[in-house]
Structure 1
């Protein structure tokens, strides 16, 4: 089992492989490497404390060589002095990494007060850098940090009978804690920081009710989602096709909403490569991130405000009560991160539903780009934040489905459009790509890059050069449209029934398509029970699902 950064503090020695597996080699908001104790260490400590906390490793240089450092008096004094200067309590530990000592410094996240540098600045971690806050961003951050978070307020009307035990035990399991019963539910919530002591009794907090309450809106006004389907209308004033009000434990609420949106919108059945899938209009991972952002970052001080989700014919709008949190602005929301409800976010992170470093917004952009859909757009007022997902695309839903099978491959929007053109036309040339993308694109460089990424193969030379989909792409997702793929499936079933037995080679020759595609289709048809496979490996043939000789 891979070690975590926390595990390193309870270890005396690890291999260099285990060390790098645990911390990674890329510095980020929660990780910083130093070859020695620097003069500016207090800046890093202050920035981490005001972001999400983190780990500083002394004894690793900029090239990620383990140069070594011992927790000697001079090192310890330097670390403790830097912590004292910013009033942050630190934990230190000496660890042998492949026999070489390094010093680990655990920096806690600080809430409820400001942590400033010795010269009075407020810093936040952005990637591996410490950035000062100024002007309005600083003022909003100060207000957000110093105000008592509403999520920790008790909810006196809620008791053990109002807790969804399945949701609570899922959260306890994620944090490796014992299961709870109805009798021990509130005590278990208190151990998670989701219940507080009031006159000798445990009382759930706002965060506790939102996370594991069976019906949160029964105790917290506005803790629900209003879903409206207006696919036939252009604006919010038009007639609606349906309306739903949802209230459930937060993780289940997100899944219920995703299912409701997908069932209300257009659904597309696709057979691509080896898989048959129902593809919704919006990428599922993007929907989840948009909904989680709205529910986890909403302002519960606005107790009457609900999260509103509206589905139109061309877009989905998700509106969350409360303005942008802390110092986050529309301009920096992809780079900055601030949790208005840090306890909620911590619970969702332990459930692996969110990433604490704010990467969810990036995943939304990547998910939309993966299907050539427009980027998410955001708007904000003092009272709400709204994200809009649009469904228009320069390619058909058929092509979006095909592209979605390549979501793990890093590509630009231009590369995806060229792949779609090659899929439809069988080949692309410099001239056809220039006509597709316009004169401002460096077409030769684009095609060279796609060749080196094994997306396209080059055929011919000089004036007769053209490019086709690579064998890797064809083998993974096929090269045909969904309608053509469906026709080939029908042809294969008919061939098997007519001939009685059919090999991959015979099918490939008959249909004039690559063996990899034919093999995938035959395997797919076999798994669906439409035909049967007889024999193994090279001797395998395919026969009708019901053998006429057995009747």
Structure 2
């Protein structure tokens, strides 16, 4: 992490990238650029950011941007509420981490670029494959131009020494119900593309992990509340006290109690005032 220069201890570039609060002051190409575009082409920005700081801060900021700019759908299936992320973030994080670890830092005029489109996410890093590597046979191959960076990621359990990154990303994508990522080499750059579900995001329900499923019965909801929530979430319906009473043949007090409970546990939200109060999915 340090080396002796003219009798003085100096941090290495790897130490600067991981531990310096402002490494971009010394290694400007370590900035990571991330953008969300409208549609499927690089024409109109919806959101963009240049991420700076040490490596782990950048990874945290990538997650924040990702959550802000990708979809999280919901669906009631039987008595469970299922939260459905557009992509498995573990796969995206692995792709970003690998781009930061394996990029060519001698390519000082370019940054790691993350582009989010309606139908895909592209992670592009400067520097093509090292000599002798075949883009069609990368799985199980561990070769890097930045051994010290990879060593730290290995020590923090974020990277293995056996070339398993591509397999892990493929597994996370297929377990999520999506296609494995596609690897390409446009010029002197390396790119990995993750294709999303498009308008079929609700089809991912069978593949969603249990930790993203909420058992509504365990929350104490009755059948009326579960059915009302299903109509709110799956069909976009909005309820009033009167509509709830008419649908389930209950009193004003029961309707108010059932609906307000949905709000209290964070499953529904209120809008309007007085007689115009409405309840919709949150």
Aligned to 1:204: 11
Partners in 1 of 2:105 and 2:156 — Cα distance? 21
Partners in 1 of 2:179 and 2:131 — Cα distance? 27
* Residue 402 (str. 1) matches residue 209 (str. 2): no
**Would the aligned equivalents of 2:82 and 2:213 in 1 still touch at CA under 8 Å?**
no
* Residue 225 (str. 1) matches residue 32 (str. 2): yes
Partners in 1 of 2:80 and 2:32 — Cα distance? 34
Q: Map 1:528-547 to 2 at 5 A.
A: 528=265
**Could you say what the CA RMSD is over the residues aligned between the two structures, in angstroms?**
3.3
**Would the aligned equivalents of 2:103 and 2:127 in 1 still touch at CA under 8 Å?**
yes
2:49 pairs with one of 241, 244, 261: 244
Aligned to 1:214: 21
Aligned to 2:128: 323
Partners in 2 of 1:286 and 1:275 — Cα distance? 26
| Aligned-residue offset at 1:221 | 2.2
| Aligned-residue offset at 1:492 | 5.4
Aligned to 1:391: 196
Aligned to 1:143: none
Partners in 2 of 1:275 and 1:346 — Cα distance? 43
Q: Give 1 or 2 for the bigger CA radius of gyration.
A: 1
- In the superposition, relative to structure 1, how do residues 289 and 221 fare at CA in structure 2: closer, same or farther (>3 Å)? same
1:234 pairs with one of 16, 40, 43: 40
Structure that is richer in strand per residue: 2
Partners in 1 of 2:86 and 2:135 — Cα distance? 26
| Aligned-residue offset at 1:246 | 0.4
Q: What TM-score does the superposition give when structure 1 sets the normalisation length?
A: 0.38
Partners in 2 of 1:326 and 1:348 — Cα distance? 23
- In the superposition, relative to structure 1, how do residues 286 and 379 fare at CA in structure 2: closer, same or farther (>3 Å)? same
Aligned to 1:521: none
Partners in 2 of 1:392 and 1:276 — Cα distance? 20
Cα deviation digits, residues 250-278 of structure 1 (max 9, x gap):
12211210221121121224567998675
Pick 1 or 2: higher relative contact order, CA cutoff 8 A, min separation 6.
2
- In the superposition, relative to structure 1, how do residues 255 and 269 fare at CA in structure 2: closer, same or farther (>3 Å)? farther
- In the superposition, relative to structure 1, how do residues 490 and 240 fare at CA in structure 2: closer, same or farther (>3 Å)? farther
Residues paired across the two proteins, number? 230
Aligned to 1:9: none
| Aligned-residue offset at 1:382 | 4.9
Aligned to 1:491: 223
Q: Map 1:37-116 to 2 at 5 A.
A: none
Cα deviation digits, residues 417-444 of structure 1 (max 9, x gap):
xxxxxxxxxxxxxxxxxxxxxxxxxxxx
| Aligned-residue offset at 1:309 | 0.7
- In the superposition, relative to structure 1, how do residues 529 and 311 fare at CA in structure 2: closer, same or farther (>3 Å)? closer
Aligned to 1:266: 71
Partners in 1 of 2:135 and 2:170 — Cα distance? 14
2:160 pairs with one of 350, 355, 359: 355
Q: Map 1:284-303 to 2 at 5 A.
A: 284-303=89-108
**Would the aligned equivalents of 2:179 and 2:195 in 1 still touch at CA under 8 Å?**
yes
Aligned to 2:249: none
Unaligned runs of at least 5 residues, structure 1 = 1-193, 408-475, 496-524, 531-551
Unaligned runs of at least 5 residues, structure 2 = 228-261, 268-282
1:336 pairs with one of 141, 163, 167: 141
Aligned to 1:26: none
Cα deviation digits, residues 181-201 of structure 1 (max 9, x gap):
xxxxxxxxxxxxx22111222
Q: What TM-score does the superposition give when structure 2 sets the normalisation length?
A: 0.71
Classify the secondary structure of the residue corresponding to 1:241.
strand
Cα deviation digits, residues 206-231 of structure 1 (max 9, x gap):
1111111212211112111111110x
Partners in 1 of 2:72 and 2:226 — Cα distance? 28
| Aligned-residue offset at 1:494 | 8.3
Classify the secondary structure of the residue corresponding to 2:60.
helix
